[in-house]
């Protein structure tokens, strides 16, 4: 079936192929995207619902934290106020702030007024300062509740473990204040210790608020969520339903490092969105519970409307795509008919398609191509004729060097027949040198070919001067095969013969060896050498050579060729880069040595 479908598609016109391909490329990804979008909608809805729940719970957390912070501020004030602490210490020690009873009464009244003023603004708080000698100070009437009873509470002796500004948060307990029990059956407290400089406890601070002040915040800010305050053991501390206080929360949250968390949990047949956030001052946390459908209903409806809009838009733009593709591909249909006519041999047909887009330019160029076909046929014939002439000139260029070599060989044979062996040998060496120089078209040659060149050169020089120069070669097999520029050794050997040896008898040694990713090649003569001043000038000239000009002193020209060594340096640097090194070593009366470091091709050059 796939084979038949493939054959059917291949038999269609380019126009139909483009239409089918465009529809497939739009339809398949769009269908997959819509299905994927629909599948991921639930996940997106859940994430957004969790985010909304966290945002709402964050508002509640801020208000509850503010309430608890105000309780801590009261305790902080009493704990750090110097006058109040001095008074409490004196009273706890059994002393009196004044020997006069009235002054002592006034001082005590001032302390009570300070405690009362701490809760004038904001939510009502019950403040108790209980000294270890049994003396108490409160902002409420002791007839409403005797604060000494606090020492009988099971949590009271936990306060002895506190240090500094540490606080002990007392979980929700039945209200002890008789005036509050009817309307506010539960209370929440925070306690701290008052200590002497030696760390001994001399009193306690207990700040209490009604639990209703907490669940009132839940009703004001929760917006349809069921919000509660729970402790670390999941026991409910505050809830708008008083009957839930003290019960254990049925949802078990995974540990999430004390940060905010959200999850969708199942209870019975229904799903609930549960979010929690920790209170900053203790190990309690706020938990909100909301039916998941209720939390997600508004967000889900938005996703459904977006899905419907995408579906309608898809079909509309699909129809628009088909219409535009038919209009855009109409010139291609015309071009197809024109090419069919050209195939039959009709070179006079033209498409007439014009425009600024690619198809318009294609039609124009196609018509222009047909106009040039006849002209091109004539141009091809003319090109073939020129090609034949070029081939003849190339053959002639190849004949000229061979003619020169043949004439030199004829002269050499004639000199030999005439008994002039020296002339014959010189002509033979020159012929070999020219042949190696002219016939090889490559710029780079192997080192062994360069050695052959300088060998012929030394032979020629020995024939033209009175005393012979001995050429010694010490080259490893690896070095023989390295690629080097043609004729780079000849200027160095020429300097050694003419200037180093002074065209007298002597020895020139050429050595090459491989050392650590490079080849060291040296040319050494046993001539007169140079003094330090001449050596320094030569070294500077090698590194200051530019555009074929030697920037050294004129007397150097009497010792070495004006452009020989600098030219070699420049050529080798162009081929091998900065990895190439050249050094000149010489001493007066002990000869001269040119040492070159040639990096291997493909190796990183040294810096």
Spatial distance between the Cα atoms of 323 and 510, rounded to a whole number of angstroms: 82
Spatial distance between the Cα atoms of 477 and 497, rounded to a whole number of angstroms: 26
Spatial contact of 458 and 472, defined as CB atoms under 8 Å apart:
no
Spatial contact of 473 and 489, defined as CB atoms under 8 Å apart:
no
Write out the two tokens for 342: 């050209």
Question: Model's pTM, two decimal places?
Answer: 0.47
CA nearest 130: which of 82, 202, 79?
A: 202
Percent of the chain clearing pLDDT 70 (strictly above): 79
Q: Quick one: 1-345 is in which CATH superfamily?
A: PAS domain (3.30.450.20)
Write out the two tokens for 248: 């254990």
Per-residue pLDDT of 389-433, as tens digits, reads: 655 454 444 445 555 566 666 676 767 777 777 677 777 777 766
- pLDDT at residue 200 tops 60: yes
- pLDDT at residue 503 tops 60: yes
* Mean confidence (pLDDT) of the chain: 79
pLDDT band at 512 (very low <50, low <70, confident <90, very high): very high
Per-residue pLDDT of 116-125, as tens digits, reads: 888 766 678 8
pLDDT band at 568 (very low <50, low <70, confident <90, very high): confident
If residue 540 lies in a helix (H) or strand (E), which one and from where to where?
helix 532-543
Which pLDDT belongs to residue 186? 93
Burial of 126 (0-12, 13-18, 19+ CB in 10 A): buried
* Cross-strand bridge partners of residue 470: 507
Q: Cα separations (Å) of 93 from 111, 115, 199, 493, 544?
A: 17, 21, 15, 113, 99
| Domain at 447-599: CATH code | 3.30.565.10
Write out the two tokens for 79: 């704990």
CA nearest 478: which of 503, 515, 441?
A: 515
Spatial contact of 75 and 119, defined as CB atoms under 8 Å apart:
no
Spatial distance between the Cα atoms of 512 and 57, rounded to a whole number of angstroms: 85
- Identify which of 36-40, 268-272, 275-279, 380-384 has the greatest average pLDDT: 275-279
- pLDDT at residue 307 tops 50: yes
Domain limits of the chain? Answer: 1-345, 447-599
If residue 382 lies in a helix (H) or strand (E), which one and from where to where?
helix 358-417
Per-residue pLDDT of 289-300, as tens digits, reads: 887 776 666 555
Spatial contact of 186 and 214, defined as CB atoms under 8 Å apart:
no
Which pLDDT belongs to residue 303? 64
* Cross-strand bridge partners of residue 173: 187
Write out the two tokens for 116: 């009362």
For 256, phi then psi, to 5°, come to: -135, 35
């Amino acid at each position: 079936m796939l084979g038949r479908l493939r054959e059917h598609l291949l038999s269609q016109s380019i126009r139909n192929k483009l239409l089918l391909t465009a529809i497939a490329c739009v339809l398949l990804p769009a269908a997959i995207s819509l299905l994927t979008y629909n599948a991921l909608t639930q996940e997106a809805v859940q994430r957004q619902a969790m985010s909304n729940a966290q945002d709402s719970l964050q508002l509640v957390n801020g208000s509850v934290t503010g309430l608890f912070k105000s309780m801590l501020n009261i305790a902080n004030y009493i704990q750090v106020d110097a006058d109040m602490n001095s008074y409490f210490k004196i009273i706890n020690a059994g002393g009196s702030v004044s020997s006069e009873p009235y002054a002592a009464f006034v001082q005590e009244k001032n302390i009570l007024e300070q405690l009362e003023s701490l809760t004038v603004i904001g939510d009502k708080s019950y403040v108790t300062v209980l000294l270890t000698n049994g003396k108490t100070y409160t902002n409420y009437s002791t007839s409403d509740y005797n604060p000494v009873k606090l020492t009988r509470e099971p949590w009271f002796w936990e306060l002895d473990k506190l240090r500094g500004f540490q606080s002990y948060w007392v979980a929700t307990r039945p209200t002890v204040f008789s005036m509050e029990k009817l309307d506010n059956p539960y209370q929440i407290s925070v306690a701290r210790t008052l200590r002497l400089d030696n760390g001994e406890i001399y009193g306690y601070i207990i700040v209490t608020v009604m639990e209703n002040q907490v669940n009132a915040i839940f009703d004001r800010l929760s917006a349809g969520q069921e919000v509660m305050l729970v402790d670390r053991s999941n026991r409910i501390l505050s809830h708008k339903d008083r009957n839930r206080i003290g019960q254990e929360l049925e949802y078990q949250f995974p540990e999430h490092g004390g940060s905010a968390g959200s999850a969708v949990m199942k209870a019975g047949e229904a799903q609930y969105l549960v979010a929690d956030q920790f209170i900053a001052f203790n190990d309690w946390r706020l938990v909100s519970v909301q039916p998941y459908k209720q939390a997600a209903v508004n967000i889900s409806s938005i996703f459904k409307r977006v899905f419907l809009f995408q579906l309608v838009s898809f079909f509309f733009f699909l129809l628009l795509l088909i219409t535009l593709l038919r209009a855009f591909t109409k010139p291609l249909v015309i071009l197809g008919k024109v090419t069919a006519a050209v195939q039959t041999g009709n070179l006079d047909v033209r498409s007439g398609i014009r425009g600024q887009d690619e198809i318009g330019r294609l039609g124009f160029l196609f018509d222009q191509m047909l106009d040039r076909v006849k002209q091109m046929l004539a141009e091809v014939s003319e090109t073939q004729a020129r090609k034949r002439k070029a081939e003849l000139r190339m053959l002639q260029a190849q004949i000229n060097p061979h003619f020169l070599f043949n004439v030199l060989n004829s002269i050499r044979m004639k000199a030999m027949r005439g008994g002039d062996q020296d002339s014959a040998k010189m002509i033979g060496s020159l012929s070999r040198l020219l042949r190696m120089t002219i016939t090889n078209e490559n710029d780079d040659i192997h080192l062994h070919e360069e050695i052959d060149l300088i060998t012929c050169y030394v032979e020629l020089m020995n024939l033209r001067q009175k005393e012979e120069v001995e050429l010694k070669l010490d080259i490893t097999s690896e070095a023989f095969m390295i690629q080097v520029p043609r004729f780079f050794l000849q200027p160095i050997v020429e300097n050694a013969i003419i200037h180093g040896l002074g065209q007298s008898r002597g020895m020139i040694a050429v050595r090459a060896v491989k050392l650590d990713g490079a080849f060291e090649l040296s040319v050494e003569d046993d001539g007169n050498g140079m003094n330090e001043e001449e050596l320094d000038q030569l070294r500077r000239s090698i590194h200051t050579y530019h555009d074929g000009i030697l920037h050294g002193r004129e007397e150097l020209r009497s010792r070495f060729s004006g452009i020989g060594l600098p030219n070699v340096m420049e050529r080798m640097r162009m081929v091998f880069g900065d990895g190439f090194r050249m050094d000149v070593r010489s001493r007066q009366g002990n000869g001269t040595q040119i040492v070159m470091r040639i990096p291997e091709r493909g190796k990183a050059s040294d810096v």
